[in-house]
Amino acid sequence: MDGTLKRVLQLAKLIASERNKDICIADWQWSQGTKDEKYLRVLRMFQDKKNCTYSIHQIAQMGVSEGKEVGQWFGPNTIAHVLRKLSTFDKWSSLAMHVAMDSVVVMDDIRKICRVETTDAEDGIRNRTQSHGAAAGAHSWKPLVLFIPLRLGLSEINPIYYCGLKRTFALKQSLGIIGGKPNHALYIIGVVGDDLVFLDPHTTQLAVDLDVECPEDESYHCAHASRMDIGQLDPSIALCFYLATEAEFDSWCNLAHRHLISQTKQPLFEITEHRPLGWPDFAEEQQRLDEEPQSTEFTVLEQERKFDTSDDEFEIL
């Protein structure tokens, strides 16, 4: 497995950790030889087999729709869009995935994605959704994985963002950060002082067949995490959050606004109730995202508006 595909695998592990958090009980811990069927079903979605939803094969193929040929490097923004597209084929988990564009989280957009009329919610929503009364319009909520791609400097991260980055890990909804050092992708899961805590996927090992009776799943886990100074972080990253219910989404919006926007000199991103003036209709944008590479998504005042794809400086997989 070459370095490019290992980076993609690292990003897929982010979603795997999210699913474990939701499917298994809060104090669940892995033990060697476990036969927890829900846990094993999660892992099977990431096997190195073409028919697995989040396999390297599927991610590489979907990357073509984002303008990346098989074997090309993926940046945090590109992989977020690829996973969003793949999630539409994941009926079992029934997750919604959203990529915030231009460092702006639009609350209306997320509600349109996650709210499901109760009459249509029987298939796949399961017991982890939140229902609302008829007065508010009866609906359920699809659990959401939210990606916020950011560019926090040119060739190195601007120190003005250090405080905000460290505060993201204090939010209970955080899934970590897709990022790394220049030329070296990492999955960042926490912070201690000015050190970022990360998992490093750059380990050569044999692929594991999880379809056998007693699969050897040790390679899906690691015993130790590593640290690096926050100043070593490449400026191209993507924040990741998991919002299981609508109440948790509302709580995240309040907490993020209070701790990441109002109390920092330079906010990492913005949160707005409605789409900014000049942005296209949400449905039109989603259709364009599904049909074209996401580097040219919006048209404003008859001029093509190009987003910062955050992939120019940090694409080494």
Whether 311 is covered by a domain: the verdict is no
Is residue 317, in this structure, part of any structural domain at all?
no
DSSP labels for 136-189? G--EEE--EEEEEEEE-BSSSB-GGGHHHHHHHTTSTTEEEEEEEETTEEEEEE
The tokens for 313 are 């400086």
Q: How many domains does the chain have?
A: 1
**pLDDT per position as a tens digit, 139-182:** 799 999 999 999 999 889 999 999 999 999 999 999 999 988 88
Cα 22 from Cα 35, distance rounded (Å) = 18
In a domain, 28, yes or no: yes
Whether 249 is covered by a domain: the verdict is yes
Residue 298's domain comprises: 3-306
Instruction: Between 179 and 69, name the one with better pLDDT.
Output: 179
| Separation of alpha carbons 181 and 206, rounded Å | 25
Is residue 314, in this structure, part of any structural domain at all? Answer: no
Q: Amino acid identity, residue 175?
A: L
Query: Is residue 207 a part of any domain in this protein?
Result: yes
Strand-strand pairing, 104-106 and 270-272: parallel
Pick the closest to residue 84 from 96, 92, 94, 74 (CA basis): 96
**In a domain? residue 313:** no
| pLDDT tens for each residue of 271-316 | 999 998 888 888 777 777 766 665 433 333 333 444 444 454 444 4
pLDDT in tens, 108-132: 999 999 998 876 444 444 444 454 4
Assigned domain for 32 exists:
yes
Instruction: Enter the pTM of the model.
Output: 0.80
Instruction: Let me know: does 230 contact 125? Beta carbons within 8 Å.
Output: no
